[in-house]
Chain A
Amino acid sequence: MSTETGGPTERAVDAARRPLAALFEPRGLALLSAGLLLFSFTFPLYGIIDVVGDPSTFLLVVAVTLVLATGLSRVVGAWTALPVGLGLLVLGLWMYASALPADVVAQQDRILGDVVSLFMGLSVLRLQMIELFALAYTPAPVFLTWYLVLRRRYVGAALVGGAALTFFVLTGDVDTLVALLGALGAVGTVGFGRLERFGGADRAVETMAVVLAAMVVATMLVSVVPGGTGTPFGLFGEGGTDTIEGSLINSDQRVSIQGSISLSSAVRFTVESPREAYWRTGAYDRYTGDGWVRTGSTLDYRGEMSGPQGESRIVEQAVTIESELDAMPAAWKPVRVSENVAGDTSVTSLGGLQPASAFTPGDSYTVVSRQPVVSPRRLQRAGDDYPGRIESRYTNLPASTPDRVATRTRQIQDGAGADTAYETARAVESYLEREKGYSLEVDRPDGEVADSFLFEMDEGYCTYFATTMVTMLRTQDIPARFVVGYTTGEQVDSGTYQVRGLDSHAWVEVYFPDVGWVQFDPTPAGPRQDAEQDRIEGGGDLGNVDDDPEPTTEPPSTPDRPTTNPSPATPGSTVGPIRTPTTDGDAVRTANDERGGIPLPEPPSREEAALILVVLAGVAAGARRLGLHERAYRAVWVRWQPRADPASDVQRAFERVEYVLAREERPRRDGETPRQYLAAIDADEPVERVYRLHERARYAGDVTVSLADDAVAAANEIVRERTGPLG
C-alpha cells in the first residue's frame, strides 16, 4: 500500500521542486507555441518590409490585430470571427489590387502567371508595392491564428498559421531555421493544446517537449549523416564553398551573398567583338541587406530595344557557348539579338537579356549592344535631376542600414572634395580599392553586408565590393545598382575573347541623367587577376588550358582597365589615382597569413537561439522524465550539508542518513517510527547514534550546537563510508 508513496525525505525533495513544476502548464506552452508560429510567418514579412522601408507601420498593424483578436476572442464566437478573418483577407487583397498600376492590372494573364510563380518559389520581395502587400496580407492570418488559440481551437489555429507559413515557404522567403521554428510552433500548439483540453499530466508535457526537441535534432542530423539527402544545414554557419560564378550567374531573380568562394577555370564562352567590354548577364535593384533581388517581371523579347539616352556606339558581338550557361552575356546595353535566339530570349525588368532555357555547348548567337560613349566631363555635368521612377527604385535601402555607412561616405566625399555624383562615385570606388584587400576566403558576416564589409572586414571579393559601393552611393541618393556578369576574359586572337568561369564578376552601374547607366568597378583589379591567374595555372588538368597559349604575356585585361567605358585614362582632374596594384597584392598576402587563428564562434542568431532553447527544454524535460536532475540534486544533497540552526542541522543529517539507508537497506515506511526502523534493519552503532541524536533534538526539544555538530559529523562519516562517487 505504501510502496508508491515516498517517505518523509521524498516529500522534502518534492517541496523543493514545486516552483519548477509551475513552468510546465500546458496552456502557457500552447500559447507560447502559437506565438512561435505567428513569429515564423510575420518575421519574413517584417524582414522584407525592412528592406524597402520603415517597418513600424507593419508592427503597428500586427499589434493592433493581436489586440483585436484578443478582445474578440472574449466576446465573439468562432462562426462570427471566421468571416471577420476572411473579410480581412479579401479586403486586404482588394486594396492591394486596386493600388497596383493600371498597366499591370490590365495584363490579367500575367497576374495569374505571377501568382502561380509565387507558389513556385518566386520571392514576394519581387512584388511591386511589397509594403502595401504585407500590410494587406498580414492581418487575416495573424487575427485568425491568435483568435483561435485564445478560443482554445488549437488545431484550427495551427492550420491557419501553418497555411500562412507555407505560403512563405513556397515563395522561398523563410529560411530553414524560421520554417522549422514555425513547424515546431504548429506542432506545439496542437500538442500542448490537446494536453490542456484533456488534462495533461506533467509526464505528457515532458514527452511533448522531448518530441519537439527531437524534431530539431532529427532535422539537423538528417542532412549531416553520411548518405543523408538534402541540403546540409546546421545551427552555426554553412560549410560549403561555392563558386563566385555559381553565386552570381543564374537565371534567378536574386543573388545571395556568400562566404568563402572558389574559382572555376572552365571556359564558358568565347566572344568575337571589336571592342573589349564586361560581358554583362544581369542587374539587381533591390538590396535586402544580405543579397540582391530584381523586382518586376521578365518579358519576352519583342524586337529591338531602346539604347542608352546619351551618345552611344554600336558593338556587335558573336558569342559561342563552350559549356552550359544559364545566362546571356552581352555588353551593355543590348538592343538586338540574332534571329536564331530571338524567340527564346527574355528581357528583364532592368533591360538585361536572359535565355528562356540554358544554353548548351555549341550554341551561338550575336547580340548588338549600344555602348554609352561618355567622357568624365559629360558625367560631371550630368547633375542630379533624376527621373522620379529611377530615384525611388535605385536609392532604396533597408531601414536597418546603419547610419554610419552614410557618415563614412560623406567623409570620403569630403576627403576627395567630391561635389558631383560622378566624383562621389570615383571617390568611393578608389576608396574601396585602396582600403580593402581582395580575398576569396571570407566569413559571411552575420549582419548587414555592406556595413560589415565597410567597418569590420579587411578583405572580400567582387560581390562585397560592389554591394558596398552601391549601398554607399545610395546613402547619398545617387541611383546605383548591382551588376553581375563576366570580365572581358582572355584575348586569344584579335577581337576574340575567351571567358572562363573565373572571370565571373560583380560590379556597379551608376545612373546619370541623360546618359544612362555607367559602369564602375570598385574591386582591385590586380589581386583579383592574380587570384584568377593562380587558378588557371594550377588547373592544368582541365582540358581547356591548351586553348590558352600565353596566359601571362597577354593578360586579359590591363591594370588600367577602364571602369567607365570608353575613357580609360581620363579621370576627371579632381579624382586621384584609381588603384595601387602592388600594395593591394601585398596587403592580401599579409592579411591571408593572419587568417590562421581559431575563429571565435559567432553568437547565435535569434532563430538559432530559439531552436537551441527548444532543444534545451527537450533535454531538460527528458532528464526530468528520467529523474536525472533529481539524482543530481540528491547526489549533492546527500554529500553537502550547509549549516543553519541546530534543529534543522540535525534534521538534515538524519534525512541524509535515512537516504543512504534507504538505498542500502530499504526506505523507512510511512508508519514506521525511527526506532522500529532501526530495529528492523539491525542498524550499526554510528547509525543508531545519529538516530538517537535526532530523537533527542526532535522529540525532546533538547537541541544544542554541540549535539548538532555531533550529528552532522556522524552523518558525514556514514555518507562518506557508504556511498560511491555518484551516490
Chain B
Amino acid sequence: MTDADSSTLEQESDDAVEAAGDLARRVAENVGEVIVGHDAEIEHILTAVLGRGHVLLEDVPGVGKTMLARSIAASFDGSFKRVQFTPDLLPSDITGINVYNQKTSEFDFRPGPVFANVVLGDEINRAPPKTQSALLEAMEEQQVTVDGVTHEMPDPFTVIATQNTVERDRTYELPMAELDRFMKKLHLGYPDSDDEAEMLGRVVGNHPIEDLSPVATLADLQAARTAVSEITVEEPIRAYVTRLAEYTRDQAQLGVSPRGSIALLRAAQARAALAGRDYVVPDDVQTEARAIMPHRIRTASADRTGEEIVGEALETVAVE
C-alpha cells in the first residue's frame, strides 16, 4: 500500500467529533462504576442525550432503572431533579407555581422540578394524563407555560422517564402521541447471574452512587451535541431511513412518524460520534432503529409486536 493510498483511507474525523465520542466514553465508564452490565443500554441513553432526545425506560420494578438514570445525571455537573409520579400529582407540582410576593405585591414564579438539566420522571405512568402532559410539553417545546407566562427550559435538558409494566390496572398508559416524544424506549431486563453477583458485591457497604463524581461539564455536553448534529448524513442513508419508515407504515396500523425518522437520524449521528466517525453508516441506523422505532408502531393485530415489524424491516429493506 502506498502513501497516497493510505491517505485516502485515513479516518479524518475532526476534533469536535473526537471530543464528543470521548465524552460519551467517559460518561459510560463512569456509569459503569455503578451499573453492572447493561452496556448497550447505557450507550443508547448516551446517544439519546447527544442526539437531543429523551428516554423512556420500561421494565419491572427493581432492575435498576432509577439507578441508571441517576448515574447518568450524576456524571454531568449540571442540575438533576427527580419527580416521583403518583396518581395525585398535579401539573403544577412539575412545572412550578406563581406565588404572591407580599413585599413586591407581585406573583413570583417558583420553578418546579422540571427545571433541571437532567430530569428523572419515575413511574411516569402512575400520574393522570393531565400531569403527564405537563412534562411532555416541556420535553417537546423546551419551555413551560404557567399562567400565561412562558419559561424557557435550561439547556441542555434531558428527561429520563421510567415506567412500570406491572400493576397495569393502576396506571395511565401513555398515549401514542406522547410516546412519540420519547426518542427511545428501552428495556433493561434482569441482569445475568454473574452481573447480579458482582452488583451485590458492590452495594455492600457504601453504595457506589454516593461516590460518583461528574466527568463532564455542561459546556462539554453542549459542544458535543453541536458536533453530533453536524455529522455527515449522505443521501443513501436518508433514503434508507425513509424506506425503513415506509416499511413500518405498510405493515402496521400506525407506523413510524416523520418525527420518528428525524429521531432515528439524530441518534444515528450520535452513534457515529460514539465510534469516532464523522459520517453515518447503515450500521448506525440499524443499531438505533431497534430502540427508536418499535414504540412508535401500533400493530394491526396482537400477534405482531412493534419489535417484530422493525426486525422484519431491518431484514428485508435493502441496504443500498
Which A positions have Cβ atoms within 8 angstroms of B?
A: 1-2, 7-8, 11, 669-676, 689, 692-693, 695-696, 698-702, 704, 706-707, 710
Contacts and interface: CB of A to CB of B under 8 A. Distances in A.
Contacts of A698: 234, 236
A669 B282 CA distance: 14
Judged by DSSP, the binding face of A is helix
A511 B313 CA distance: 94
Contacts of B236: 698-699
Contacts of A671: 286, 313-319
B319 A673 contact: yes
B234 A706 contact: no
B4 interface: yes
Contacts of A695: 281
Given A698-B236, A699-B236, A700-B278, A670 B4 contact: no
B281 to A, nearest CB: 5
A180 to B, nearest CB: 48
Contact of B315 (A669, A699, A700, A704): A669
Nearest to B11: A696
Contacts of A693: 8-9
In this complex, the member of B9, B278, B282 whose beta carbon has the largest number of chain A beta carbons within 10 angstroms is B282
Contacts of B141: none
27 contacts: A1-B315, A1-B316, A2-B315, A2-B316, A8-B319, A669-B315, A670-B315, A670-B316, A670-B318, A670-B319, A671-B286, A672-B319, A673-B282, A673-B283, A673-B286, A674-B282, A674-B319, A675-B282, A696-B9, A698-B236, A699-B232, A699-B234, A699-B279, A699-B281, A700-B232, A700-B279, A710-B5
Contacts of A710: 5, 8
B280 interface: yes
Contacts of B318: 7-8, 11, 670-671
B237 interface: yes
A707 B8 contact: yes
Interface string B251-287: 0000000000000000000000000001111110010
B320 interface: yes
Interface of B: 4-5, 8-9, 232, 234, 236-237, 278-283, 286, 313-320
Nearest to A675: B283
A695 B313 CA distance: 22
B115 to A, nearest CB: 40
A476 to B, nearest CB: 79
A670 B320 CA distance: 9
A701 B282 contact: no
- Residue in B5, B236, B278, B313 with the greatest tally of chain A CB atoms within 10 Å: B5
A710 B279 CA distance: 21
Contacts of B278: 700
A431 to B, nearest CB: 79
A673 B284 CA distance: 10
A11 B237 CA distance: 18
Nearest to A685: B1
B319 A692 contact: no
Contacts of A670: 315-319
Nearest to B235: A701
A699 B8 contact: no
A699 B4 contact: no
Contacts of B237: 699
A223 B251 CA distance: 61
A701 B316 contact: no
A511 B5 CA distance: 97
B319 A689 contact: no
Of A689, A696, A707, chain B has the most CB atoms within 10 Å of the CB of A696
A279 to B, nearest CB: 87
Contacts of B286: 671, 673
A685 to B, nearest CB: 9
A507 B234 CA distance: 89
A707 B314 CA distance: 30
B316 A673 contact: no
Given A693-B9, A704-B8, A706-B8, A699 B280 contact: yes
Of listed B5, B278, B315, B318, residue having the most chain A CB within 10 A = B318
A657 to B, nearest CB: 15
Nearest to A6: B318
A671 B243 CA distance: 11
Nearest to A670: B318
Given A1-B315, A701-B232, A701-B234, A676 B8 contact: no
A548 B319 CA distance: 96
Nearest to B320: A8
